[in-house]
Amino acid sequence: MVAGSKYKVYVDEIQEVVGEFPTKKSESEKWDWKLVAVWVDTEGCFSTSPDTLRATITQKERGPLEGIRSFLEKEGIRSKIISLHKEDREYFYLITKGGMEALATLVVNIEPYIRTNNKKE
């Protein structure tokens, strides 16, 4: 593996991603905090470890995650999309980057729209 390269993670292997997935500027215009909150509430989770704080949204299609990623980037929250092949199916994960500050910005902006009580706490 080479630092700075992109990789796809499979159940039994890791493959380098060749090429970029450019985001259309118009994709971020379709999103707002309320819509991002809906996706976090239904398809997302928050996770912590000693060196990581992040939000993750999982989806079978890449398109919606590209829109969310573009919106978050516009709002100052870096994120990445990775793909995982499992049982002959590809799943996509949007993962926020930037640690505590990025996660706090996300939570403060989506919390008013979250309906699931355990995600509000």
Q: Please enumerate in sequence order all residues whose Cβ is within 8 A of that of 100, keeping only pairs 6 or more positions apart, or say none.
A: 53
Q: Which of 28, 72, 26, 64 is nearest to 43 (CA)?
A: 64
pLDDT at 15: 54
What is the 3-class SS of 7-23, one letter each residue? EEEECCCEEECCCCCCC
Classify residue 98: in a domain, yes or no. yes
Check pLDDT > 90 for residue 10: no
Give the residue numbers spanning the domain of 44. Answer: 26-115
Greater pLDDT, 5 or 78:
78
pLDDT at 38: 92
Greatest mean pLDDT range, 12-16, 37-41, 47-51, 86-90: 37-41
Greater pLDDT, 84 or 9:
84
The tens digit of pLDDT for each residue in 49-104 reads 877 889 999 999 999 999 999 999 999 999 999 998 888 888 999 999 988 899 99
Classify residue 16: in a domain, yes or no. no
Q: How many domains does the chain have?
A: 1
Find the CATH number of the domain harbouring 51. 3.10.28.10
**Long-range contacts formed by 21-24: CB under 8 A, 24+ apart:** 21/62, 21/66, 21/81, 23/66, 23/69, 23/70, 23/73, 24/70
Classify residue 103: in a domain, yes or no. yes
Classify residue 19: in a domain, yes or no. no
In the predicted model, what is the mean pLDDT of residues 94-119? Answer: 86
